Amino acid sequence: MTTSETHAEIREAVRRLCARFPGEYWREQDRNRAYPKAFVDALTEAGWLSVLIPEAYGGAGLDLSAACAVLEEIHRSGGNGAACHAQMYTMGTLLRHGSEAQKSALLPKIASGEIRLQAFGVTEPASGTDTTRIRTFAKREGDHYVVNGSKIWISRAEHSDYMVLLCRTAPRTEERPSDGMSVLLVDMREARGKGLTVQPVRTMLNHATTELFFDNLEVPAANLIGEEGRGFRYILDGMNAERILIAAECIGDGRFFIDRASAYAKDREVFGRPIGENQGVQFPIARAHVQVTAASLMVERAAALFEAGEPCGSEANMAKLTASEASWFAADTCLQTHGGFGFAEDFDIERKFRETRLYQVAPISTNLILSHVATHVLGLPKSF
């Protein structure tokens, strides 16, 4: 069986699952700011959240492009993978850099759904994108670390049993700014109320994101992933996977908008003919299709490099940029095609429009990608 056939089967199965969670389900979650638990449970039970976990640890042992297919189809169906997609890339940090004891203790339980590894704690209020300036500090005291500091925009912290936390274990130096950071696995169930406070942040989309405060939180030293001080390198792989997976979600969003815009443009009659007969309506939809198709090739390329273990930082960034811009153009086109009805909740366009806008800011903003391409790919002078 070829890879594309495998993916075709995955896509078909994910579409069938998503059909059980139609627009009305997502509208209700959005209206009530609710966590889509039934959907996440169904995905977990079907094994779709553990596709990247090796078979030896109870997962399907598939590659990144299979996970991309899962997320793309969720988004194409009108749903949203953000409630649970982090498990796919945070798990990778544990898989690639964790000890055998950590992996055999956690991965099978993550694969079965017994525990959730959904939270990834990097961003801080004061440092923003400038990750080497994070201030959350973990001080080693005997057999544990004592963590103090804060994080912002940490999604799913209320719905996760564990968090992959990036913190400083040594002060920043100008010579080697990315040294001295470490990755800790925080057991959220034990930490809450014992040094960890989780504060939800309400946003323009239904996204369970939070602010975290650490006040002398004790984390066992056994929960350190890899070596102390090398954490920044460990999360970079995970960030490449995250960018590629989220780019796949953008492709799914883009296809959702194009499907909806095309269907509406064929159906809606004004001035005695379908609006889609007007080239002023057709062309933006066609342009959106061209852009989403081109971006999907970039996503495939980045995923292939990641799977081959090749450097893929630039490609992951470019995939994320092209896909998020394509989905945003498709969103705008779809809304415009629907005229006033695009603003009505029942059409799902306005919700998806809000949801897909996020991806030009998170997990990395467009400017920071352009800066990477300018300086790392084109060799232009660095501005910071």
The binding site for ligand FAD (CB under 6 A) comprises 120-123, 128-129, 153-155, 203, 207, 209, 358, 361-365, 367-368, 371, 383-384
Tokens linked to 171: 């002060």
Q: Which residues of 299-327 are buried (b: 16+ CB within 10 A; e: fewer)?
A: bbbbbbbbbeeeebbbbbbbbbbbbbbbb
Q: How far apart are CA 256 and CA 45, in angstroms?
A: 25
Q: How far apart are CA 234 and CA 187, in angstroms?
A: 19
**Angle 53-10-205 (CA atoms, 0-180°, nearest 5)?**
80
Tokens linked to 68: 């991309």
Dihedral over Cα of 304, 308, 309, 314: its sign: negative
Q: Which is nearer to ligand FAD, 48 or 89 (CB)?
A: 89
**Residue nearest to ligand FAD as judged by C-beta position:** 128
Tokens linked to 127: 């440092």
Cβ at position 356, least distance to ligand FAD in Å: 12
Q: Which is nearer to ligand FAD, 3 or 203 (CB)?
A: 203
Tokens linked to 6: 């495998």
Cβ at position 1, least distance to ligand FAD in Å: 35
Q: Which is nearer to ligand FAD, 232 or 264 (CB)?
A: 232
Cβ at position 260, least distance to ligand FAD in Å: 24
Q: How far apart are CA 7 and CA 315, in angstroms?
A: 21
Q: Which is nearer to ligand FAD, 314 or 365 (CB)?
A: 365
Query: In the Cβ-directed half-sphere of 110, how many Cα atoms lie within 13 Å?
Result: 36
Cβ at position 106, least distance to ligand FAD in Å: 19
**Angle 203-74-122 (CA atoms, 0-180°, nearest 5)?**
45
Tokens linked to 62: 């598939």
Which residue's entry shows tokens 């490609």?
315
Cβ at position 59, least distance to ligand FAD in Å: 22
Q: Which is nearer to ligand FAD, 238 or 342 (CB)?
A: 238
Q: Which is nearer to ligand FAD, 10 or 119 (CB)?
A: 119
Cβ at position 141, least distance to ligand FAD in Å: 26
Cβ at position 124, least distance to ligand FAD in Å: 8
Q: Which is nearer to ligand FAD, 153 or 162 (CB)?
A: 153
